[in-house]
């Protein structure tokens, strides 16, 4: 993706965002967030209808039309707002660093399914769920960010992983811009100083609150946490009585975008709806009227939380993908495990709980503190901010502003219960007992909680300025932005400098396996739409080889099966069942050689070497022939 393609995509987001902020009565600083969420929802729906490329084209044309309707004197003040400039600063830094370093995928899930999603968008112009070759990648996850990638890939000439990482980092930049858009600074000099702080802090604001490098992995955990944080920032904005419907529509848009990132996003979206419900109820009590309206308004934001996931599930069912992993996590298996543990038949439920509780109490999650201690610290900070906000803003407005941070105290134990349920029902026993991805799952929650506390602190600082003497009144609003800049610089220093902050070095194993995959494609003579079966002599490497080579060889050929040759392999059945056209052997056992050497034209001699052996598969009336390549 060229710099020009990135600029076109960003301009599209901003122009749609400016239009939405005008319609929804939001400050201009929320334009990047609104534009991002709007495009994600539209492209998720377009991709679900197998019209992804058409949806991206319509968004680009629509952005041009919205720009043509605006006047220059209307756009310039919006572009110069602190939130928009903070977003542009973050996006500019990402563009520059990624263009220089060209980061690549390094981790497991990027090859297992997320990478396939983005490759399918670029090469097939559709979601992977519509791929008739039926790759082994999990199809259950909604694909809002791969859909957003279509907007940036439309003018791009080639697929690059750095471009994918750029798109997945945009929600973090948009959430940072929403945070800095909260205070409405009007005086000239304070506004300039505040804008400078926002531009300095935004590029790496969330580094401290993520376990990995949030800007250089294609995992969806950091983006879903960032959008959760951004939705909480929207709730923090003061809301006039005549604009509550528009605020509900804005939150509906954000909640809809949350559900398109990952299935856990639906849980976060419902958390946002719950806080909005309490705020509407509080407003109705303060106004001494409109109680019914206070109950009905939150349903505006709740509708996408159910409509978008339901539509996606129906699509999976219609395309016969509903049995994929994570697509169904009903309570039946959870209750079964609990009953078996209670009766002493199987201790699996108790074993997972023991490890979960131990990890909760002792595992250092952030800043060397355990997950439990972090929750206690955030709860104490929320109560302290409640006191400060009531003093600075008055009882009603202070309580209304502090409500999101206080609600997170309630959500904290509920979220722990949700994650324990996921470990029991949604993961393999090995992953559950190892507490796999613990940091990613909890850090996305804390990313939202930290952000809402930072937003409350920003609003408290600017509100307190009116209650303090002149000198202190000028100094206090600058403290929180300054601390955010310092924390960002400290995070960069902790990471070993800006280079390691944004770009992991290219691993030697990745270079070697890319060459192996390229060599396979060359020996396949440019095969298209074939299917490949991967067999590994080493059982521990079977799954790893499957996920990695599936990604590298896609879309030329699609991995449809993988297993260890140490197991009892029925070669003929699997080849016939999956219509396999290519077989790759990563070493073979003596038993496998004895059983199937007569099927290969070289007696499987190619498979005796350390390099992967490639065979073309011919199936003639059930008789299998393997031709070495």
User: Can you give the residue ranges of every domain in the chain?
Assistant: 3-322+468-502, 334-467, 508-628
Q: Rounded mean pLDDT of 167-172?
A: 90
Residue 213 confidence class, pLDDT cut points 50, 70, 90:
low
Q: Which residue has the tokens 């390229």?
A: 518
Q: Rounded mean pLDDT of 461-475?
A: 65
d(CA 136, CA 139): 9
The answer to whether 536 and 586 are in contact (CB under 8 A) is yes
pLDDT digits (tens, 9 = 90+) for 119-152: 889 988 888 887 765 555 666 788 899 999 999 9
Its pTM surpasses 0.85: yes
**Of residues 487, 225, 540, the one with CA closest to residue 367:** 487
Task: Give the neighbor-by-neighbor strand order of the sheet with 623-628.
Answer: 557-564, 530-536, 582-586, 613-620, 623-628
Residues 489-495: contacts with CB under 8 Å, at least 24 apart: 490/208, 491/204, 491/207, 491/208, 492/204, 492/207, 495/207, 495/213
Which of 28-37, 200-209, 257-266, 267-276 has the weakest average pLDDT?
200-209
pLDDT at position 470 over 80: no
**Continuous segment of H or E residues that includes residue 627:** strand 623-628
CB atoms within 10 A of CB 592: 22
Q: Which residue has the tokens 């009531």?
A: 390
- Please give the C-alpha separations between residue 342 and each of 145, 336, 348, in angstroms, as whole numbers: 42, 10, 10
Q: In angstroms, how far is CA 172 from the centroid of its own chain?
A: 10
Which of 97-101, 203-207, 471-475, 615-619 has the weakest average pLDDT?
471-475
- Please give the C-alpha separations between residue 201 and each of 179, 208, 252, 486, 490, in angstroms, as whole numbers: 11, 12, 28, 8, 11
pLDDT digits (tens, 9 = 90+) for 91-110: 888 888 888 878 788 777 78
Strands 623-628, 613-620: parallel, antiparallel or unpaired by DSSP?
Answer: antiparallel
**Continuous segment of H or E residues that includes residue 45:** helix 31-48
Task: Give bridge partners of residue 532 from the DSSP assignment.
Answer: 559, 582
Residue 327 confidence class, pLDDT cut points 50, 70, 90:
very low
**Per-residue confidence (pLDDT) for residue 44, from 0 to 100:** 93
pLDDT at position 325 over 80: no
Q: Which residue stretches of 123-187 are H helix?
A: 144-153, 161-180
pLDDT digits (tens, 9 = 90+) for 344-367: 888 889 999 999 999 888 887 776
pLDDT digits (tens, 9 = 90+) for 8-44: 899 999 999 999 998 888 888 899 999 999 999 999 9
pLDDT at position 192 over 90: no
pLDDT digits (tens, 9 = 90+) for 537-575: 766 666 677 778 888 888 777 766 666 655 666 777 777
Up-side HSE of residue 327: CA atoms within 13 Å toward CB?
18
The torsion region of residue 482 among left (phi > 0), alpha (psi -120 to 50) and beta comes to alpha
**Per-residue confidence (pLDDT) for residue 16, from 0 to 100:** 92
Phi first, then psi: what are they for 563, rounded to 5°? -165, 180
Q: How far apart are the first and last CA of the chain?
A: 34
**Per-residue confidence (pLDDT) for residue 32, from 0 to 100:** 93
Q: Rounded mean pLDDT of 612-618?
A: 84
Q: Rounded mean pLDDT of 258-286?
A: 87
pLDDT at position 207 over 90: no
Q: Rounded mean pLDDT of 308-329?
A: 71
Q: Rounded mean pLDDT of 273-285?
A: 84
**Continuous segment of H or E residues that includes residue 563:** strand 557-564
d(CA 540, CA 387): 55
Q: Rounded mean pLDDT of 465-485?
A: 62
Three-state SS for 584? Answer: strand
**Of residues 231, 30, 262, the one with CA closest to residue 146:** 262
pLDDT digits (tens, 9 = 90+) for 382-428: 999 999 889 888 888 888 889 999 999 999 999 999 899 988 887 87
**Per-residue confidence (pLDDT) for residue 369, from 0 to 100:** 79
Show the beta-strand stretches assigned E in 286-409. Answer: 364-366, 369-370
pLDDT digits (tens, 9 = 90+) for 499-526: 455 555 556 677 777 888 888 888 887 6
Three-state SS for 405? Answer: helix
What mean pLDDT is reported for the chain?
A: 80
pLDDT at position 211 over 50: no
d(CA 59, CA 17): 12
Three-state SS for 127? Answer: coil
C-alpha torsion sign, points 449, 451, 454, 456: negative
Residue 601 confidence class, pLDDT cut points 50, 70, 90:
confident
The answer to whether 532 and 584 are in contact (CB under 8 A) is yes
């Amino acid at each position: 993706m060229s710099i020009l393609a990135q600029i076109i995509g960003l301009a599209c987001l901003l122009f749609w965002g400016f239009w939405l902020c005008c319609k929804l009565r939001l400050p201009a600083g929320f334009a990047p967030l609104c534009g991002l969420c709007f495009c994600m929802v539209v492209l998720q729906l377009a991709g679900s209808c197998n019209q992804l490329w058409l949806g991206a084209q319509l968004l680009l044309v629509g952005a041009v039309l919205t720009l043509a309707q605006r006047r220059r004197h209307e756009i310039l003040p919006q572009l110069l707002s602190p939130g928009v400039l903070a977003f542009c600063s973050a996006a500019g830094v990402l563009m520059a660093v990624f263009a220089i370093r060209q980061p690549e995928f390094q981790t497991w899930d990027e090859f297992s399914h997320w990478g396939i999603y983005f490759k399918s968008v670029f090469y097939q112009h559709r979601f992977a769920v519509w791929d008739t070759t039926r790759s082994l990648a999990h199809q259950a996850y909604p694909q809002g960010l791969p859909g957003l990638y279509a907007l940036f890939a439309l003018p791009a000439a080639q697929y690059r992983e750095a471009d994918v990482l750029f798109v997945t980092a945009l929600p973090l930049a948009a959430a940072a811009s929403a945070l800095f858009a909260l205070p409405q600074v009007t005086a000239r000099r304070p506004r300039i100083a505040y804008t400078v702080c926002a531009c300095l802090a935004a590029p790496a604001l969330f580094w401290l609150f993520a376990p990995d490098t949030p800007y250089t992995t294609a995992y969806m955990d950091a983006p879903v946490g960032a959008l959760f944080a951004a939705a909480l920032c929207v709730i923090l904005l003061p809301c006039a009585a005549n604009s509550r419907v528009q605020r509900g529509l804005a939150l509906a848009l954000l909640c809809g975008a949350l559900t398109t990132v990952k299935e856990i996003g639906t849980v976060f979206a419902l958390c946002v709806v719950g806080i909005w419900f309490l705020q509407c109820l509080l407003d109705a009590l303060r106004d001494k009227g409109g109680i019914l309206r206070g109950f009905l308004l939150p349903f505006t934001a709740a509708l996408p939380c159910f409509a978008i996931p339901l539509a996606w599930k129906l699509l999976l069912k219609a395309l016969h993908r509903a049995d994929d992993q994570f697509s169904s996590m009903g309570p039946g298996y959870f209750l079964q495990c609990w009953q078996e543990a209670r009766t002493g038949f199987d201790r699996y439920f108790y074993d997972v709980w023991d490890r979960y509780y131990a990890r909760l109490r002792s595992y250092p999650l952030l800043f060397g503190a355990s997950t439990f201690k972090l929750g206690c610290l955030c709860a104490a900070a929320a109560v302290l901010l409640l006191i400060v906000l009531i003093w600075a803003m008055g009882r009603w407005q202070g309580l209304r502003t502090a409500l999101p941070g206080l609600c997170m105290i309630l959500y904290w134990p509920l979220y722990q219960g949700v994650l324990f349920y996921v470990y029991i029902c949604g993961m393999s026993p090995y992953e559950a007992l190892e507490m796999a991805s613990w940091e990613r799952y909890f850090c996305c929650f804390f990313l939202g909680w930290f952000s809402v506390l930072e937003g409350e602190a920003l609003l408290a600082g600017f509100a307190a300025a009116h209650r303090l003497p002149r000198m202190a009144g000028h100094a206090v609003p600058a403290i929180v932005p300054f601390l955010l800049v310092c924390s960002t610089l400290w995070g960069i220093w902790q990471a070993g400098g800006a280079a390691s902050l944004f770009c992991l070095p290219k691993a030697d194993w990745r270079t070697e396996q890319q060459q192996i995959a390229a060599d396979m494609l060359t020996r396949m003579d440019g095969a298209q739409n074939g299917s490949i079966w991967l067999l590994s002599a080493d059982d521990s490497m079977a799954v790893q080889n499957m996920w990695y080579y599936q990604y590298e060889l896609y879309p030329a050929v699609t991995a449809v099966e993988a297993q260890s040759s140490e197991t009892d392999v029925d070669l003929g059945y699997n080849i016939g069942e999956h219509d396999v056209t290519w077989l790759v052997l990563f070493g073979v056992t003596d038993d496998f050689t004895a059983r199937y050497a007569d099927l290969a034209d070289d007696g499987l001699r190619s498979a005796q070497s350390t390099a992967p052996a490639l065979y073309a598969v011919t199936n003639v009336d059930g008789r299998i022939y393997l031709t070495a390549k």
